[in-house]
Amino acid sequence: MRKVIHIVGARPNFMKVAPIYKAIRARGVLHQRLVHTGQHYDVKMSDVFFSDLGLPAPEVHLGIGSGSHAEQTARMMVEMEKVFLQEKPDLVSVVGDVNSTLAAALVTSKLAIPLAHVEAGLRSRERYQPEEVNRVVTDRLSELLLTPSRDADANLLEEGVPSSRIHFVGNVMIDSLLSNQEKAEQLSTLRDLGLSARQYAVATLHRPVNVDDPKLLVGLIGSLRDVARRLPLVFPVHPRTRKMLTEQGWLAELERAPGMKLVEPMGYLEFLALTSQARVILTDSGGLQEEATALGVPCLTLREQTERPVTVEVGTNEVVGTDAARILAAVDRILAGQGKQGRVPELWDGRTGERIADLYARSVGAQGQARASA
């Protein structure tokens, strides 16, 4: 049987790989291996997602950990090359835009192994944003470009990618969301935090551009404190953000702010329970903008632009930047019942993993192979 290797490494990868992995398993026409780079290694940033999403433990764990971009990416490349040479996959599948995605793209291209990129074609056009670099390079090196929205197809065509390589399959992360929402909402998460449905806000912050610069970070946490005065605000703190808040001596004060509920990073199901029943979400995450759109929950993006324009054009997302007055005005509009109404974008239907599995099987010739041996 032909073999696909899936690369995962960081938190936003796991909910994208799970539906593809399960759909391939259900079809039984391809061997698959899960390789974890170890970019994220905390139990709360990684392990809990495997159990929540019903993913098996990775067959290979590279144990890379943190480091500068060059160190981290280079260490991943060295270890991945060994795995690919030994495993001889027919296809390597990567998702998203993290350093693990880029490392796999570079290694496969040197070994002439076909690469599939899930979530291809998104562009923020911020030249020096690490994720943008990862996206552009990975797309350049991919044989199969699987896009979540039509704008991504247009970006790739504009960059000269042949249309035969571009496949609009929909948003695979939404498969995970739809298949887990009911289970998540049965958890006691809201009760445990003393919250009632639609009576609280959720915030996340982790982009280097927002949290590594103390001047920007202090402004953003000031805005979050103002939001927390209006309605309870749950703020699960990413390790990068916690480190910065601790170094600046702001953590204890923020913990005591009225209405503020600072918590550790949450598991997939717990966090979904929280977001699906929130009144408003404030975030600089890309994935959360999409999840909010799928859930129909108003979302305020604390960045200057988004690489996911469909969440604004069709969904519930508003890009409000980092200016305090603008953020609070948007929150007040939502609390007054004048938030943006959205629809669910095309093909965010819970079946993207199945479409990808069929495409992979076709592209490596596995269906013909299965028929021939039947």
State the catalytic residues.
206
Query: Of 33, 100, 94, 97, which is closest to residue 66 (Cα–Cα)?
Result: 100
CB neighbours of 362 closer than 8 A, spacing ≥ 6? none
Provide the minimum distance between the beta carbon of 97 and ligand UD1 in the complex, in angstroms, as a whole number. 6
Q: Which is nearer to ligand UD1, 286 or 309 (CB)?
A: 286
Which residues between 126 and 185 bind ligand UD1 (CB under 6 A)? 130-131
What's the CA gap between 83 and 290, in Å, rounded? 33
Which residues between 304 and 343 bind ligand UD1 (CB under 6 A)? none
DSSP string, 46-98: THHHHHHHTPPPPSEE-------HHHHHHHHHHHHHHHHHHH--SEEEEETTS
Query: Of 47, 97, 106, 101, which is closest to residue 78 (Cα–Cα)?
Result: 106
Determine if 239 is a binding residue for ligand UD1 (CB under 6 A). Answer: yes
Contact in structure between 262 and 283 (CB atoms under 8 Å): no
Q: Write the interaction track for ligand UD1 spanning residues 9-48; mark x where CB under 6 A is met and - where it is not.
A: -xxx--------------------------xxxx--x---
Provide the minimum distance between the beta carbon of 26 and ligand UD1 in the complex, in angstroms, as a whole number. 28
Place of tokens 């912050």: 205
Determine if 74 is a binding residue for ligand UD1 (CB under 6 A). Answer: no
Burial class (CB within 10 angstroms; exposed 0-12, middle 13-18, buried 19+) of 181: middle
Q: Which is nearer to ligand UD1, 238 or 279 (CB)?
A: 238
What's the CA gap between 38 and 57, in Å, rounded? 12
Of positions 51, 66, 199, 338, contacts ligand UD1 by CB under 6 A: 66
> Of 94-102, 221-229, 288-296, 319-327, which part binds ligand UD1 (CB under 6 A)?
94-102
Q: Which is nearer to ligand UD1, 206 or 261 (CB)?
A: 206
Of positions 32, 37, 99, 306, contacts ligand UD1 by CB under 6 A: 99
H/E stretch holding 251 reads helix 251-256
| Tokens read off for 92 | 């390597």
> Of 110-118, 238-246, 249-257, 300-308, which part binds ligand UD1 (CB under 6 A)?
238-246
Determine if 353 is a binding residue for ligand UD1 (CB under 6 A). Answer: no
Q: Which residues bind ligand UD1 (CB under 6 A)?
A: 10-12, 39-42, 45, 66, 97-99, 130-131, 206, 238-240, 243
